Structure 1
Amino acid sequence: MAVHVITGAGSGIGEVLAQRLAERGDELWLLARDAGRAAQLRGRFPGAQTLVGDLAEPERLSWAFGHQSVPPRVDSLLHVAGVVELGAVAETPVKAWQQQLNVNAVSPAELTRLMLPALRAARGQIVFVNSGAGLRVSPEWGAYAASKFALRALADAVRAEERANGVRVTTVYPGRTATPMQQKVHQQEGADYDASQWIDPASVATTILAALDLPRDAELTELTVRPGA
């Protein structure tokens, strides 16, 4: 039975991914920001374990995990959670920069650091769900894109550093996907939201599972997923 640690399992891509892995009979460890959210996740995914830690406070994750049971081996660490706050650089306050950098880049780095011994034990895999904004920047997307460019750098560094330990690292760059985050983006853009125009979260989850299921003689390092015609 494979063991997976997942962030962002409460909605969107992370929720579908957790459902798919649970259907396989795998063991899930789901990160929640607080005890109430953890209880909700356990109710949604019977049999799943939860870890409580707020990605907005990466400096507290080590302390939080030190007071909880953590899996001794991890076959995959799936970084799916993220936040977005659009705005021109001239109008974006420090708090918005810090929140997006903390949740989207610094906490994935810290969570990866904390889970590396268990990942090495399993010769496991890390998947970073990035964004098209991690490849190119558009107006109003500066802070979010900066956090995703940082996430790309993190993945590339970990891949090079952990190859000798048998840990595979994959970055997935989804285009616009029909998630609650995308609905928020449309609200910030002042645009009508039609989920049918965008990628189904299940399609991104299928892509991630393909990377996880790849035989050990190969590694999918980067995958770009775009809305179809």
Structure 2
Amino acid sequence: MATHLITGAGSGIGAAVARRLHERGDDLVLVARDAGRAKELADRYAGARTLVADLAAPDRISWALGHQTLPDRIDSLLHIAGVVDLGRVGDLTPRTWHNQLDVNLVAPAELTRLFLPQLRVAQGHVVFVNSGAGLNAHAEWAAYAASKHGLKALADSLRHEEHGNGVRVTSVYPGRTASPMQAKVHSQEGKEYDESRWIDPESVATTILTALDLPRDAEINDLTVRPGR
């Protein structure tokens, strides 16, 4: 039975992945931003463990986890949480930049650093759920795309560094996916949101599980998923 540490399990892609892994009997360790959210996740996924750490404050993640019982083994670390705020470069404030960079890039780097010992022992798998914006940046997406371009660099470097330790690293680049985040993006763009036009989170979850379940003789480095409609 594998143990998976997951961020972003509360909604969207993260919820779909957590549910699928939970249904097949794997152990879940779910990261929540506060105690209230942790209780919600524990109630939703019976038997799951939770860790409280605010990804928006990556400098305090080590301190927060140091006061909690950590799993001895992790077979996969799934970075799925993310935030987005659109805006033109001429209007973006440092606070907007910092928030997206902290949650989308610095926090995944810090969690990876903290759990690398367990991942090395298990010869585990790190999955970064990136974005199409991690490959191409468009108008008003500068801060978010910068964080996701950085996440690609983090994954690529980690893959080279940990290959000899047997740690696999996968980046998944979903296109627009039906989720609360996508609803927010449409609101910021001033567009009507129709979730039927976009990728079902279950479809992205399928690609993530495919990467996790691949036999040890191979690994998926980069996987791009686009709306089929």
Instruction: Specify if TM > 0.5.
Output: yes
* TM-superposition CA deviations, 1:184-229 (whole Å, max 9, x none): 0000000000000000000000000000000000010000000003
Match of 1:80 in 2: 80
Question: Percent of counterpart pairs with the same letter?
Answer: 68
Shift of the alpha carbon at 1:169?
0.1
Match of 1:40 in 2: 40
Give the gaps of 5 or more residues in structure 1: none
Are 2:6 and 1:3 equivalent residues in the alignment? no
Distance 2:56 2:6 in 1: 16
Distance 1:216 1:70 in 2: 26
Distance 1:117 1:61 in 2: 16
Match of 1:19 in 2: 19
Match of 1:207 in 2: 207
After TM superposition, the structure 1 = structure 2 runs for residues 1-229 of structure 1, keeping only pairs within 5 Å, are 1-229=1-229
Distance 1:24 1:118 in 2: 22
TM-score, reference length from structure 1: 1.00
TM-score, reference length from structure 2: 1.00
Q: In structure 2, give the amino acid aligned to 1:228.
A: G
Shift of the alpha carbon at 1:175?
0.1
Distance 2:154 2:73 in 1: 22
Shift of the alpha carbon at 1:132?
0.2
* TM-superposition CA deviations, 1:20-57 (whole Å, max 9, x none): 00011110000000111100100111110000000000
Distance 1:144 1:40 in 2: 28
| Deviation >4 Å, runs of 4+ | none
- Root-mean-square deviation (Å): 0.4
Distance 2:170 2:147 in 1: 17
Give the gaps of 5 or more residues in structure 2: none
Q: In structure 2, give the amino acid aligned to 1:115.
A: F
Q: In structure 1, give the amino acid aligned to 2:170.
A: T
- How many residue pairs were aligned? 229
- Partner of 2:15: helix, strand, or coil? helix
Distance 2:152 2:119 in 1: 19
Shift of the alpha carbon at 1:17?
0.4
Shift of the alpha carbon at 1:124?
0.3
